[in-house]
Structure 1
Amino acid sequence: MELKQGDLRLLETDLARRLLGSTELARVAYVAKDGTPRVFPVMFHWTGDELVFGTFAGSAKIAALRTRPAVALTIDTAGPPPEVLLLRGQATVTDVDGILPEYAAAHHHYYGPEQGARNIADVAQSGRKMVRVGLVPDWVGTLDFVSRFPAALS
């Protein structure tokens, strides 16, 4: 039985697992304070239930996410054929003392243990305050032209 777009069980597909474990950037869409749409790329950490990224306190996107927490997110490859994971839900925004563990995990995953440790040390030394943004998806979609839509390649 083919899963319909929106079904949370799509997180269990090979495509979703591969993209959630990849070093592709996530692109997060949200509505800014002035009501206009915005998108920003971000490294992320997947906990198995929640997509988490860290950012620094005081950024405009944090105020916007606190006011309007609805977000859409994509993790994708350029292809051909492209592979796309789409997530939607309500972002949770939490102030953090010190380095956000998921931020450190993302840096180690994307840059490797040595460079990741240097990156985290630089942030820790700066004394900047961090903010944790989490997304537990309430809608999941995939665009997989190999297994779900192979006719599109013909």
Structure 2
Amino acid sequence: MDAMELPQGHVGLLETDAARRLLGSKELARVAYTAADGTPRVFPMLFHWTGDEVVLSTFAGARKITALRARPDVAITIDVAGAPPQALLIRGRAEVTDVAGIVPEYRLAQYRYGTPEQAAAALASVSHPGTRMARIAVRPTWVGLLDFTTRLPGGTTAAEFARRGRA
């Protein structure tokens, strides 16, 4: 699929090679939400892409659970800081579900981000009777993609972007 054919905001951008790479990467998702006191927060989190939802997990009692239930609108960035930088920008509403035990996507994320040994150790350290987690699922309603080669900020061409800031 040619990313240049789709405007910023089109959920079809999730089907591009760049988006698929970022969704399958070991980069953290940076999740922006509004805290209970009304101020903005950004929190880096492991994530799992199901093909329909970005799924994040946290342990019961985390303050973000209450905040997300009260104000479910979120923005997520998954990005690479290398040259050229790449960023997948997602907006949607968080649906929070309480889970007894380990969220299945948390388990999958642990294995994607670490070695099998690291994942098994991390899961063993939290998997015990009484463990409670929250599954935070975000179905994208708006998607942006910047790869700084074919898709640039402001929808400019590479030549226009190179001239920015010059008199």
Shorter-chain TM-score tier? over 0.9
1:85-136, Cα deviation, whole Å (9 max, x unpaired): 0000000000001111100000000012121011111110374311100001
Whether the aligned pair in 2 keeps the contact of 1:90 and 1:135 (CA below 8 Å) is: yes
Whether the aligned pair in 2 keeps the contact of 1:8 and 1:140 (CA below 8 Å) is: yes
1:17-71, Cα deviation, whole Å (9 max, x unpaired): 0000000000000000110000000000000111101101111111000000000
**Correspondence for 1:4 among 7, 12, 19:** 7
Deviation of 1:140 after TM superposition, in Å, equals: 0.2
Number of equivalenced pairs = 154
Identity of aligned residues (%): 62
CA RMSD across the alignment: 1.4
Structure-1 residue corresponding to 2:135: 132
2:65 is the counterpart of 1:62? yes
Structure-2 residue corresponding to 1:99: 102
2:76 is the counterpart of 1:90? no
> 3-state DSSP class of the match of 2:81?
coil
User: In structure 2, how many angstroms separate the alpha carbons of the residues matched to 1:11 and 1:113?
Assistant: 28
**Correspondence for 1:142 among 137, 140, 145:** 145
Deviation of 1:153 after TM superposition, in Å, equals: 5.4
> 3-state DSSP class of the match of 1:138?
strand
Deviates more, 1:29-38 or 1:143-152: 143-152
2:37 is the counterpart of 1:34? yes
**Correspondence for 1:43 among 21, 43, 46:** 46
Q: Would you identify which runs of 4 or more consecutive aligned residues in structure 1 move more than 4 Å? A: none
Whether the aligned pair in 1 keeps the contact of 2:80 and 2:86 (CA below 8 Å) is: yes
Structure-1 residue corresponding to 2:24: 21
Whether the aligned pair in 1 keeps the contact of 2:100 and 2:131 (CA below 8 Å) is: no
| Unaligned residue ranges in structure 1 (runs of 5+) | none
> 3-state DSSP class of the match of 1:49?
coil
Deviation of 1:6 after TM superposition, in Å, equals: 0.4
